[in-house]
Each structure stands twice: as C-alpha cells, then as structure tokens.
Structure 1
Amino acid sequence: MRYIVQIAFAACITVATIAEAQTPASQPSAGGTPEKMPFDIPYGTPIGVDAAKQLIAAAEAEAKKRDWKMNIAVVDTHGDLVAFERMDGAQLASIAISQKKARTSAQFRRETRVFFNQFASGQTYVGTFGPDMVASPGGFPLVQGGKLVGAIGCSGGTGDQDAAVCKAAADTFK
C-alpha cells in the first residue's frame, strides 16, 4: 500500500511539473491598452424613418450608377430595423446579411470592416461575439452631431462594393 501511495505521489508531482513547464510566463496581449476607449461614440436620438428613407435613396442611387444590385438596411441605435430595400434582382441571401451588417455597426459603434480586418489578421476572438455579428465590409455607423443615431448596412456584391454603396450614403448624412 505504501508503495502505491509513493507512485501516486510521484505521478502527481510529474504531472504538475509538466503542466508548469507548458504554461507561458506571461499572457499574450489582448490588443494592447489604449489611453482612450476606442469607438466611444455617445448615443443620440435614434434615426427616424424619413431620414432612413433618404439614406436608402442615396445608397440606391450609388448602386444604380454602378449597375450593382443591393439590399440596403438602416437600423436605429439598438440595431433594430427602421427601413429596408431590396433592389430588383438583388441576391436573396444578402437580405439578412445587410441587416446584420447594419446591426453590427450600430451595436459596436464602428464600421464592420474593423471586424473583417481583425478576423483576417488572425484575431479569431471576433467570432465569439455572437451569431448575428457580421465581420464583413459594408456596415457604417451613422453619426449626427457627434452622436450615434443608427447605422446602414449593404449587401449583394463583394465586401468592397457593399462598403462603397453604404459609404456614399453615409457620407450624405450629417
């Protein structure tokens, strides 16, 4: 019995030593520690339907100019849909994607390309943010008077096409 206890004790010490040797001395950075909070845009009064329709019209005009078929969504500060348009012939799978891009941009207060770039650079934690989060270009926050009032999301083309259409519309919003 004493021999079995000695073997068990030796095994525990060996396992603990191996585990300690495999633990890094310091943890890797989680993106650094900036002085100021990034993307710290205060919330304003949510965008109304008339302004949302004007943004959709601006996005549609840009898409038509380029002969691109888009799904265009505008959401409020919470990420809830205010207005939506599917252009004739726009890809059906992109309906939900445009809405999720807008929602992601509003809820995280930043352009969705930020998440795309993080994911592309190997920062896979972005995938843990939830099933409705979209890490693809084409979602832009809408800021009025220095405050977030909503976001616009476009989908139907490549990420860069989506972003170009949404940016053209977002740039008209002041």
Structure 2
Amino acid sequence: MKLSSATLMLNAALTEAQRLGVSVCISIVDAAAWPMAFMRMDDAPLGVIDVSNKKARTAVLFQMDSADFAKIAHPDAGAYTLENTNGGLTSFGGGLVLRAADGVLVGAIGVSGASTEDDIAIARAAANILTA
C-alpha cells in the first residue's frame, strides 16, 4: 500500500465519521501489520486508539474482517482466546481487510469509537477508495 492511498482512506473515513456525527480513531496498517496512517478525531476517547489498531491488526493478520474473526474467537467457538495472541487482537467489528482492485491484500483498516455498525460503515467508506 502506498501512503497516498492510506491518506485518501483517512480522509474518506473522516468525512463519513463527520457525516455520522461521531468521533473515532482510524488506524491503517500495511500487509505486514505495520502502521501506515493514523488519525484521532477530536473528542475520541483515548482508549479507542489501541482498539482501532487492534482491529486493523486482527483483520490483516488473519485475512478476515474483525467481525468475522469474532465468529471463531468467542467462548463457544473453536478458537476461543485466540485474541490473546499476536500481541493482542480484538473480536468485534470495525476492522476490514484492504485489497487492491486486483484482489491483492494490501493491509487493513481499524475504526473505533462509535457503535460497531458505525465503525464498520466508516471503515467501508475508506476501503471503497481502493476499488473506486
């Protein structure tokens, strides 16, 4: 992923968060789970900085959206406590895998600070930049 793409995604996420009237943190990581870009909106709680990063890391490390990861990492599923690996992951929505237009995995985005549904919507608005 290029920094220019990550910056465009941050701006798209910011626009969507403002449209929804929420304050969030947005973390974008590359395909190796290393940080590419980050934004904390005014009034976003400090605790969601780490959560947004963990959502992005979860998505890229397991090549699935964090909401899908939740389906395998809950107490009744086969991989319960998996979120305790890899330096800490998270098992709820807001982390999306990012793929280029050709389908190649390029990274992930994590959004946290609003409802799970809004976090996912904000992340999707940003992810759409890659396929536009």
- Asked if structure 2 preserves the Cα contact closer than 8 Å seen for 1:72 and 1:86, the reply is yes
**Displacement of 1:120 after TM fit?**
4.7
Alignment-mate amino acid for residue 17 of structure 2? A
TM-score after normalising by structure 1 = 0.69
Contact 2:73–2:82, Cα closer than 8 Å, also in 1: no
Q: What CA deviation, in whole Å up to 9, does each residue of 1:16-50 have, x standing for no partner?
A: xxxxxxxxxxxxxxxxxxxxxxxxxxxxxxx1211
Query: What are the ranges of 5 or more consecutive residues in structure 1 without an aligned counterpart?
Result: 1-46
Q: 5+ unaligned residues in a row in structure 2: which ranges?
A: none
Q: CA deviation at 1:119?
A: 3.8
TM-score (norm 2): 0.90
Query: 1:54-87 CA distances to partner (integer Å, 9 max, x unpaired)?
Result: 1010001000001010100100001110000000
SS at match of 2:26: strand
Asked if structure 2 preserves the Cα contact closer than 8 Å seen for 1:115 and 1:126, the reply is: no
The ranges of structure 1 where at least 4 consecutive aligned residues each deviate by more than 6 angstroms after the TM superposition are: none
Q: How many residues align?
A: 128
RMSD over aligned CA atoms reads: 1.5
Distance 1:84 1:148 in 2: 19
* 2:32 paired residue among 62, 78, 81: 78
Q: Percent identity?
A: 32
Q: Take 1:105 and 1:126, find their aligned partners in 2: how far apart are those partners?
A: 17
Higher relative contact order (CA 8 A, sep 6+): 2
Compare CA radii of gyration and give the structure with the larger one.
1
C-alpha contact 1:101 1:134 (8 A) present in aligned 2: yes
